[in-house]
C-alpha cells in the first residue's frame, strides 16, 4: 500500500539537519585549529569515534536499526560539541568518558533521539567538570608552541602534562585575578596582558567565538534555528554584564568580553538552540535563551566554575516543560481574546 | 485598485507542477461506456433515487432527489438507460461502497428541456431552491451544498464575499483554465451570489502564479460591468484554503468554532460560481465538471468530464506512462489514492494524478521527532503539530484537543516539512476519528444508561404496587385465619389465642387448664395448625412485599407485624424491617 498524503515532500531529513549543524561549526573549528592548535582536530576524531561506538552499542542493545540511526548525525553533533567545549589537550579518556556518558546515559537511557530532556553534550561537560575538576580546568596557554605530534602525545598520555598546559582560560584567569586582587586589580590593567588577552577577549579564543557567531548566523539564514534563543541569550548576557560594567568598569568586564569568552557564542547558537532539550514555542524560546544567558553570566562571574554555560543550559532544560506549557501561542482565529469560548 | 493584503502565518512552497497541464485548452472528454453516478456527492443528506433499472433517462434528468435542506439533487450526466441502482465502490480512501445509479449512455447526449430563467425575477428563496434542484455544490473540494451558504447571517452584516480562484494545490489547473476560458460566466455566477448575500464588497482572489487567469477575470468583470476586485495573492500553499484566503483578503481569521458568516464573510469557489450561472441562466444542472488529468502521463490536460465517468477511462485519455501504479484524486498535498481505478469521477474530483514511484518517491522511514518545530512554523493555523503528535501517539486524546486538534485543516504542511518524515496528518486524522468514535460511544452509552434507568424505575414502581397488593392480601388472610382460630377457640372455654385488634395482653398464655384433656388436645392442635399456616403465609409473602413501601404501607405492615409478635406468631428479630437491608 502507498503512504498517505502529502505525496510531495520537502527535501529534508534529520541527517541533513545535523550535517548542516556540523557545517555551521566549521568556521569556529577552523579558527580554533588555526589560532589555538590543531590538536582540537584530534579531539574531534576521538569524540566522534567514541560517540559512534557508544551509539552502535546502544542501538544494538535496543535492537534499533543501525544504519538509519547512525547516519542521522545526531551523535556526531553531540561529539563535536563535547570536543569543542572540553580543554583541547584533555587526555583522550576524559573525552571518551564524557562522550560515552552523553550518548549512553544522557541520550539513550532517556529513550534515544528526540527523547532526552537534557542537552547530552552539556551533561558530559557537567559530569566531567564535577568528577575531574583539575583536568577540566587545564587549558594550554595560547602562546604554547608545542608541535602537533607532541600535543597528540599529551592527549594520548604518552607525554607528561607539563606546566605550560595548565593555565586557566582567559575568563577564569580574569575571575581569579579579580578575586585574589580583592579590589586592587582592575579589569583594564588585566586586559593589557597580551599573553592572555587579545583585542576584545581571550587571545585567539575571541576569533573562535566569532567563528561560531558566523556559523550561527548561517544556520539562522538557513532556517535551521530561529532568532529567538541566540538573541535572548546574548541580549540577557549583554544587559546584565553591561549593567554591572557601567556600574563598576574596574571590577566587571565589558559585555563584549563576555560574549567572546568561554562558551557564550557556541552556547547561544549551538547549545541552547538544541531543539530536543530546549523550549519550542516562540515566547518559550525567548525565556529559555534569556534564562540561559543570565545564569551563564552569574555562574561564570560569581560562581566557582570557570564558565557557566553548561550549568545554565542544564538548569533551563529542567524548566522547559513548564515554560512550554505556559507559553503556548494563540492559534489562528483565536487571537482576539477569549470570547471564542474554546479553551 | 491597490489593496492592502494580509498574511497568514506558516505555509509552504512545494513545486507547483502546474505548467504541464496548462499547455492546451479544455477538452471535452468522450462519453464513457458506462456511467456510475453516486447519489451521495455532497455534504448532508443522501439523495433518494427516483429512477430504477430499465428507466430511460435524458441528460440532466433528476435521478436523486435532495434529502433535506443540506443536500443537493443528482442528475443523469447523459441520456441513456438506467441499468442498475446498486452499491459501488466510492472514490474515498475508505474504499467503502455507496448507492449509485448506473447508466448506459445511448450516445445521443440528449438534454431534458432546459428552462433558463432570469433570476432577478425570482425571490431569493426560489433562487436557492433552484440551485439545490440543480445540484450546485462547492466544487473546490468540500462539496457543501451551495444554496445552504447563500443566506446571510441575520445579526452580522455581510461585508465581503470572497470568490476563491487561488488554486494553491500543486498540479491542479482546472480553476485556472476555467477562469481563462469561461471568466464571464464565473463573474455572472458570482453576481448571483452577490445579489443573494448583498455583501459590501466582492473580492476575487487568485494566486499570482496565474496572471492569465487574473487578466481574463479582470476583463470579464469589466465586460459584465461589475465592481468586483480581482486580487492576486502571493503563491503560498495553502493560500486557497477558504480560511487562509479570507485572512489574506480581509484580515479576518475564522476559528474552527465559528462560521465565516459570523464574521461577515462568505467564500465560494470559481467553479461553483460557474455552475451556479449555468444552472440558473441555462437551466443546466451539474452533470459535468472540469478535471485536471496529470502526473505520470504523456499528455497532461484539463477535461470537461461527465460525473460518473470511471477514472481509469478518463486517465487513458492522457496516456499514462507504463509504470503508473495508482490514481491520486485531488492534489499531492491533500489528495488520496483511490481504492480502485474504476471509481467514478464525482463533483469533488478536481484532479487526477497518475501515481508512480518516479513521480512521488516512496517516503524514507519514519524517525523520532526531534522537536525542531519546523511543523509549527509551517502550520497555517499556528498549531503545535509536534505536541499534537506526541499526544496522538500516546492516545492522550484529551490533550490533543487542548492543543486544538480540531482546528487542524489537514493541509499537510507539517508532514511536508518534517525532517523526521513523520506522517503527522495521519496521526491527527487518527486522533480525530478516535475522538469522534468515543463521542459516539459515549452518546450511545448515555442513551442506554437513560433507557436502563427508566426501565429500573418502572420495574420498581410495578414491584411496589404489587407489594402493596400482596401486603393487603396477606393482612386480610392473616386476619381471616386469626378470626377462624378465634372462632375455633371460642367454641371451647379457653380464651382466644389468636391475635385480635387489642389482644396483646390476653394472648400471652397458650392454653388454660380445662376439664377435658381430649378437648384440650383438640384445641391445641387447632391453634398450632393455625400458627403453622400463618407462619407459612408470612414466609411466603415476606420476600416480595417489603421493598419500596410508602410510609403508609410501611406503617400498616408494621402494625400487622406488631400484632403477630404480640401473638408470638413470629420471632421479633425476623420482623425487623427487612426492606432497609434489601435496599440497594
Let me know if residue B439 belongs to a domain. Answer: no
Q: pLDDT value at position B504?
A: 46
pLDDT at B555 over 70: yes
Give the domain-ending residue among B306, B335, B355.
Answer: B355
Return the minimum-mean-pLDDT range out of B20-24, B495-499, B539-543.
Answer: B495-499
Higher pLDDT: A286 or A333? It is A286
Judge contact between A201 and A260, C-beta under 8 A.
yes
Query: Contact B257/A328, CB-based, under 8 Å?
Result: no
**Distance of alpha carbon B21 from its chain centroid, rounded?**
36
Contact A7 B355 (CB under 8 A): yes
Residue B576: left if φ>0, alpha if ψ -120 to 50, beta else—which one?
Answer: beta
| Rounded CA separation B287/B77 (Å) | 5
Nearest CA to CA, how far is A113 from chain B (Å)? 6
The string of pLDDT tens digits covering residues B459-487 is 999 999 999 999 988 888 888 888 888 87
Q: pLDDT confidence of B581, banded at 50, 70, 90?
A: very low
Kindly state whether residue B304 falls inside one of the protein's structural domains.
yes
Query: Looking at B319, B336, B355, which one is the last position of a domain?
Result: B355
Least CB–CB distance from B253: residue in A9, A16, A332: A332
B199's grid cell: 455583501
Q: Give domain status of residue B334, yes or no.
A: yes
Average the pLDDT over A292-299 and give the result: 96
Confirm if B141 and B323 have CB atoms less than 8 A apart: no
Does residue B500 register a pLDDT over 80? Answer: no
Give pLDDT, residue B74: 95
pLDDT band at A343 (very low <50, low <70, confident <90, very high): very low
**Cα gap B104→B51, rounded to integer Å:** 13
Q: What is the pLDDT of residue A164?
A: 62
Q: Which tens digits make up the pLDDT trace of A61-72?
A: 999 999 889 999
B143 and B269 fall within a common domain: yes
Question: Cβ contacts of residue A85 below 8 Å, gap of 6+?
Answer: A121, A125, A263, A266, A309, A310
Q: What angle do CA A32, A33, A35 make, to 5 degrees?
A: 65
Say yes or no for a CB contact (<8 Å) between B254 and A333.
yes
pLDDT at residue B502, as a whole number? 47
Quick check: B574 pLDDT over 50?
A: no
Kindly report the nearest CA distance between residue A147 and chain B, in angstroms: 41
**Enclosing H/E stretch for B471:** helix B424-490
Q: Identify any residues that bridge with B290 across adjacent strands, giving them in sequence order.
A: B304
Point out the domain boundary residue: B340, B355, B370.
B355
Residue B580: pLDDT over 50 = no
pLDDT, tens only, B329-359: 999 999 999 999 999 999 999 999 999 999 9
Q: How many CB atoms lie within 10 A of CB A130?
A: 11
Terminal Cα distance for chain B, rounded: 77
Are the C-beta atoms of A10 and B417 separated by less than 8 Å? yes
Tell whether B385 is covered by a domain.
no
- pLDDT at position A306 is 84
Compute the average pLDDT of residues A161-180. 76
Half-sphere exposure of B200 (CA within 13 A, CB side): 8
Interface of B with A in 298-327 (CB under 8 A): 326
Search chain B and give the residue with CA nearest A8. B332
Interface of B with A in 242-281 (CB under 8 A): 243, 247, 253-258
Interface test with A, best of B171, B352, B367 (most A CBs within 10 A): B367
pLDDT at A199 over 90: no
| Partner residue facing B373 (CB), from A5, A6, A275 | A275
Pairwise CB contact (< 8 Å): A280 & B425: no
CB B460 within 8 A of CB A40: no
Nearest CA in chain B to A277: B371
pLDDT of B503 > 60? The answer is no
Query: Above 60 in pLDDT, residue B107?
Result: yes
Strand B265-269 relative to strand B288-295: parallel, antiparallel, unpaired? unpaired
Cα torsion B572, B577, B578, B580 to 10°: value is -150
Residue among B138, B161, B164 at smallest CA distance from B245? B164
Contact B523, B488 (CB under 8 A): yes
Query: B380 and A332 in contact by Cβ < 8 A?
Result: yes
Helices (H) and strands (E) in chain B, counts: 14, 17
For A17, which residue in chain B has the nearest alpha carbon? B419
| Cell reading at B3 | 489593496
The answer to whether B173 touches B316, Cβ cutoff 8 Å, is no
Give the confidence band of B16 by pLDDT, cuts at 50, 70, 90.
Answer: very high
Residue B523 has pLDDT above 90, yes or no: no
pLDDT score, position A144: 66
C-alpha distances (whole Å) from A342 to each of A334, A339, B244, B257, B410 are 9, 8, 20, 7, 20
Domain annotation covers residue B98 = yes
pLDDT at A179: 77
Q: pLDDT class for B575, splitting at 50, 70, 90? A: very low
Give the per-residue pLDDT at A174: 82
Mean confidence (pLDDT) of chain A: 89
Cβ of B384 and A13 within 8 Å?
Answer: no
Q: Is A336 helix (H, G, I), strand (E, B) or coil?
A: coil
- Please check whether residue B417 lies inside any domain of the structure: no
**Residue A304 at interface with chain B, using a CB cutoff of 8 Å:** no
Predicted confidence (pLDDT) at residue B521 exceeds the cutoff of 90: no
Tell me the three cell numbers of residue B110. Answer: 440528449
Q: Say whether B256 and A341 touch across the interface (CB within 8 A).
A: no
pLDDT at B542 over 70: no
Number of C-beta neighbours around residue B584 at 10 A: 3
**DSSP sequence for A264-300:** HHHIIIIITT-TTTS--SHHHHHHHHHHHHHHHHHHH
Task: Identify the pLDDT of residue B497.
Answer: 47
Mutate to test the interface with B, among A333, A334, A337 (most CBs of B within 10 A): A333
In this structure, what C-alpha cell is assigned to residue B481?
Answer: 385465619
Per-residue pLDDT at B174 exceeds 90: yes
Asked whether the predicted pLDDT for residue B193 surpasses 60, the reply is yes
CB contact under 8 A, A113 and B8: no
Question: Of A143-147, B414-418, B427-431, where does mean pLDDT reach its minimum?
Answer: A143-147
pLDDT at A187: 80
Residues A280-294 as b or e (16 or more Cβ within 10 Å = b): bbeebbbbbbbbbbb
Cell numbers representing residue A339 in the block:
470570547
Quick check: A342 and B376 CB within 8 A? no
Put simply, the answer to whether B370 touches A74 (Cβ < 8 Å) is: yes
Q: Do B381 and A72 touch (CB under 8 A)?
A: no
Q: Closest-CA residue in chain B for A343?
A: B402
B227-265 pLDDT tens trace: 999 999 999 999 999 999 999 999 999 988 888 888 999
Say if A247 is an interface residue toward chain B (CB within 8 Å).
no
Q: Average pLDDT of chain B?
A: 88
Whether B3 is in a domain gets the answer no
Chain B, 421-460: which have a CB under 8 Å from a chain A CB? Answer: 421, 423, 425-426
Query: Residues 6 or more apart from B14 whose CB is under 8 A from it?
Result: A6, A8, A10, B170, B237, B332, B333, B416
Q: The domain that contains B269 carries what CATH number?
A: 3.40.50.11540
The closest alpha carbon to A171, from A25, A309, A35, belongs to A309
Is it the case that residue B570 has pLDDT exceeding 70? no
Do residue B334 and residue A68 have CB atoms under 8 angstroms apart?
no
Q: Above 70 in pLDDT, residue A340? A: no
- Distance to chain B for A214, nearest Cα, Å: 21
With a CB-CB cutoff of 8 Å, which residues 58-97 of chain B face chain A? Answer: 93
Q: Which of B353, B372, B404 sits opposite A275 (nearest CB)?
A: B372
A165 pLDDT tier (thresholds 50, 70, 90): low
Here the contacts of A217-223 (C-beta below 8 Å, separation 24 or greater) are A217/A269, A218/A23, A218/A24, A219/A20, A219/A21, A219/A24, A219/A269, A219/A273, A222/A20, A223/B377
Query: In sequence order, what are the beta bridge partners of B12?
Result: B237
- pTM: predicted TM-score of the whole model, two decimal places: 0.80
Confidence of residue B21 (pLDDT cuts 50, 70, 90): very high
Instruction: Express as a percent the part of chain A with pLDDT over 70.
Output: 94
Residues of B in contact with A113 (CB under 8 A): 367-368, 370
**Nearest CB to A340: which of B255, B353, B363?**
B255
ipTM: 0.88
Q: Looking at the domain assignment, is residue B570 inside a domain?
A: yes
Instruction: Give the span between the Cα atoms of B390 and A280, in whole angstroms.
Output: 14
> Which residue ranges make up each domain of chain A?
13-167, 170-325
356-385 of B, contacting A, C-beta below 8 A: 360, 362-365, 367-374, 376-377, 380-384
According to DSSP, the residues that pair with B289 across neighbouring strands are: B305
Whether the predicted pLDDT of B270 surpasses 60: yes
CB contact under 8 A, A5 and B363: no
Is the CB of residue A337 less than 8 Å away from at least one CB of chain B? no
For the four alpha carbons of A87, A91, A92 and A94, in that order, the dihedral sign comes to negative
Question: Which has the higher per-residue pLDDT, B154 or B513?
Answer: B154
Split into its structural domains, chain B has a count of 2
**What residues in B contact A2, CB-CB < 8 Å?**
326, 337, 355
CB atoms A333 and B253 under 8 Å: yes
- Whole-number Å distance between alpha carbons of B246 and B230: 14
What sign results for the dihedral spanned by CA atoms B388, B393, B398, B399? negative
Predicted pLDDT at B571:
57
Chain segment B365-400, per-residue pLDDT in tens? 899 999 999 999 999 999 999 999 999 999 999 999
Q: Is the pLDDT of residue B431 over 50?
A: yes
Q: What is the pLDDT of residue B569?
A: 63
Question: Can you give the pLDDT at residue B80?
Answer: 95
- Over range B281-307, report the average pLDDT: 95
Are residues A318 and A272 in contact, defined by beta-carbon separation less than 8 angstroms?
A: no
Of A6, A68, A226, the CB nearest to B333: A6
**Residue range of the domain that includes B497:** 469-582
Amino acid at each position: 500500500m502507498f503512504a498517505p498524503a502529502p505525496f510531495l515532500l520537502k527535501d529534508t531529513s534529520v541527517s541533513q539537519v545535523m550535517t548542516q549543524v556540523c557545517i555551521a561549526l566549521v568556521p569556529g573549528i577552523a579558527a580554533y585549529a588555526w589560532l589555538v592548535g590543531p590538536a582540537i582536530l584530534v579531539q574531534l576524531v576521538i569524540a566522534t569515534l567514541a560517540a559512534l561506538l557508544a551509539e552502535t552499542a546502544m542501538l544494538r542493545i535496543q535492537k534499533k536499526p543501525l544504519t538509519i540511526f547512525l547516519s542521522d548525525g545526531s551523535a556526531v553533533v553531540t561529539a563535536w560539541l563535547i570536543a569543542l567545549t572540553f580543554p583541547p589537550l584533555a587526555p583522550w579518556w576524559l573525552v571518551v568518558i564524557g562522550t560515552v556518558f552523553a550518548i549512553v546515559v544522557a541520550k539513550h537511557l532517556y529513550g534515544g533521539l528526540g527523547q532526552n530532556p537534557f542537552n547530552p553534550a552539556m551533561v558530559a561537560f557537567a559530569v566531567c567538570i564535577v568528577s575531574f575538576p583539575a583536568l577540566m580546568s587545564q587549558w594550554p596557554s595560547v602562546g604554547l608552541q608545542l608541535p602537533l605530534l607532541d600535543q597528540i602525545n599529551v592527549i594520548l598520555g604518552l607525554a607528561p602534562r607539563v606546566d605550560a598546559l595548565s593555565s586557566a582560560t582567559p575568563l577564569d584567569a580574569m575571575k581569579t585575578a579579580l578575586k585574589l586582587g580583592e579590589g586592587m586589580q582592575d579589569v583594564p590593567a588585566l586586559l593589557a596582558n597580551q599573553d592572555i588577552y587579545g583585542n576584545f577577549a581571550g587571545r585567539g579564543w575571541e576569533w573562535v567565538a566569532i567563528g561560531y557567531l558566523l556559523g550561527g548566523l548561517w544556520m539562522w539564514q538557513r532556517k535551521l534555528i530561529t532568532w529567538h534563543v541566540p538573541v535572548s541569550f546574548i541580549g540577557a548576557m549583554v544587559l546584565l554584564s553591561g549593567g554591572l560594567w557601567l556600574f563598576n568598569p574596574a571590577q566587571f568586564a565589558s559585555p563584549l568580553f563576555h560574549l567572546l569568552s568561554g562558551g557564550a557564542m557556541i552556547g547561544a547558537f549551538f547549545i541552547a538552540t538544541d531543539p530536543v532539550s530546549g523550549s519550542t514555542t516562540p515566547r518559550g524560546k525567548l525565556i529559555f535563551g534569556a534564562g540561559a544567558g543570565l545564569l551563564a553570566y552569574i555562574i561564570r562571574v560569581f560562581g566557582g566554575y570557570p564558565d557557566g554555560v553548561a550549568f545554565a543550559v542544564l538548569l533551563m532544560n529542567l524548566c522547559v516543560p513548564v515554560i512550554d506549557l505556559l507559553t503556548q501561542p494563540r492559534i489562528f482565529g483565536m487571537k482576539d481574546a477569549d470570547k471564542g469560548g474554546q479553551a | 485598485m491597490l489593496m492592502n493584503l494580509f498574511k497568514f502565518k506558516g505555509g509552504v512552497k512545494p513545486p507547483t507542477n502546474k505548467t504541464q497541464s496548462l499547455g492546451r485548452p479544455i477538452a471535452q472528454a468522450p462519453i464513457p461506456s458506462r456511467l456510475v453516478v453516486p447519489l451521495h456527492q455532497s455534504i448532508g443528506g443522501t439523495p433518494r433515487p427516483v429512477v430504477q433499472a430499465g428507466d430511460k433517462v435524458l441528460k440532466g434528468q433528476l435521478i436523486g432527489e435532495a434529502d433535506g435542506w443540506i443536500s443537493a439533487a443528482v442528475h443523469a450526466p447523459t441520456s441513456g438507460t438506467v441499468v442498475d441502482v446498486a452499491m459501488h465502490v466510492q472514490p474515498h480512501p475508505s474504499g467503502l461502497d455507496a448507492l449509485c445509479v448506473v447508466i448506459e449512455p445511448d450516445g445521443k447526449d440528449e438534454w431534458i428541456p432546459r428552462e433558463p430563467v432570469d433570476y432577478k425575477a425570482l425571490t431569493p428563496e426560489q433562487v436557492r431552491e433552484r440551485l439545490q434542484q440543480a445540484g450546485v455544490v462547492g466544487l473546490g473540494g468540500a462539496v457543501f451544498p451551495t444554496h445552504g451558504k447563500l443566506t446571510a447571517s441575520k445579526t452580522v452584516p455581510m461585508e465581503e464575499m470572497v470568490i476563491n480562484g487561488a488554486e494553491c494545490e500543486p498540479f491542479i489547473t482546472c480553476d485556472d483554465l476555467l477562469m481563462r476560458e469561461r471568466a464571464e460566466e464565473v463573474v455572472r455566477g458570482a453576481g448571483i451570489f452577490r445579489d443573494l448575500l448583498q455583501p459590501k464588497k466582492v473580492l476575487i482572489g487568485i494566486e499570482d502564479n496565474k496572471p492569465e487567469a487574473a487578466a481574463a477575470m479582470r476583463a470579464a468583470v469589466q465586460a459584465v460591468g461589475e465592481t468586483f476586485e480581482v486580487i492576486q495573492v502571493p503563491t503560498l500553499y495553502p493560500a486557497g484554503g477558504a480560511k487562509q484566503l479570507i485572512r489574506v483578503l480581509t484580515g479576518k481569521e475564522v476559528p474552527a468554532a465559528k462560521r465565516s458568516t459570523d464574521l461577515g464573510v462568505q467564500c465560494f469557489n470559481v467553479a461553483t460560481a460557474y455552475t451556479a450561472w449555468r444552472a440558473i441562466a441555462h437551466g443546466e444542472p451539474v452533470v459535468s465538471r472540469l478535471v485536471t488529468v496529470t502526473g505520470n502521463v504523456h499528455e497532461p490536460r484539463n477535461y470537461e468530464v461527465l460525473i460518473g465517468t470511471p477514472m481509469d477511462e478518463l486517465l487513458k485519455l492522457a496516456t499514462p506512462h507504463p509504470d503508473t501504479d495508482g490514481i491520486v484524486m485531488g492534489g499531492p498535498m491533500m489528495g488520496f489514492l483511490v481504492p480502485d481505478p474504476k471509481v467514478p469521477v464525482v463533483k469533488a474530483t478536481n484532479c487526477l494524478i497518475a501515481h508512480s514511484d518516479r513521480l512521488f518517491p516512496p517516503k524514507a522511514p519514519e524517525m523520532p521527532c526531534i522537536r525542531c518545530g519546523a511543523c509549527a512554523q509551517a502550520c497555517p493555523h499556528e498549531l503545535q503539530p509536534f505536541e499534537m503528535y506526541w499526544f496522538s501517539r500516546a492516545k492522550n486524546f484529551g490533550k490533543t484537543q487542548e492543543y486544538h486538534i480540531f482546528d487542524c485543516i489537514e493541509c499537510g504542511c507539517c508532514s511536508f516539512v518534517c525532517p523526521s518524515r513523520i506522517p503527522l496528518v495521519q496521526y491527527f486524522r487518527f486522533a480525530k476519528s478516535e475522538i469522534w468514535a468515543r463521542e459516539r460511544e459515549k452518546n450511545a452509552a448515555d442513551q442506554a444508561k437513560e433507557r436502563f434507568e427508566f426501565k429500573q424505575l418502572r420495574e420498581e414502581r410495578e414491584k411496589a404496587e404489587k407489594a402493596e397488593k400482596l401486603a393487603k392480601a396477606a393482612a386480610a388472610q392473616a386476619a381471616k385465619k386469626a378470626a377462624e382460630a378465634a372462632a375455633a377457640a371460642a367454641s371451647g372455654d379457653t380464651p382466644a389465642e389468636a391475635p385480635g385488634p387489642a389482644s396483646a395482653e390476653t394472648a400471652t398464655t397458650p392454653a388454660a387448664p380445662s376439664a377435658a384433656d381430649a378437648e384440650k388436645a383438640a384445641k391445641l392442635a387447632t391453634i398450632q395448625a393455625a400458627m403453622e399456616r400463618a407462619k407459612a403465609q408470612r414466609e411466603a409473602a415476606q420476600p416480595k412485599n417489603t421493598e419500596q413501601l410508602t410510609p403508609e404501607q410501611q406503617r400498616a405492615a408494621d402494625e400487622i407485624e406488631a400484632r403477630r409478635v404480640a401473638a408470638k406468631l413470629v420471632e421479633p428479630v425476623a420482623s425487623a424491617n427487612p426492606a432497609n437491608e434489601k435496599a440497594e
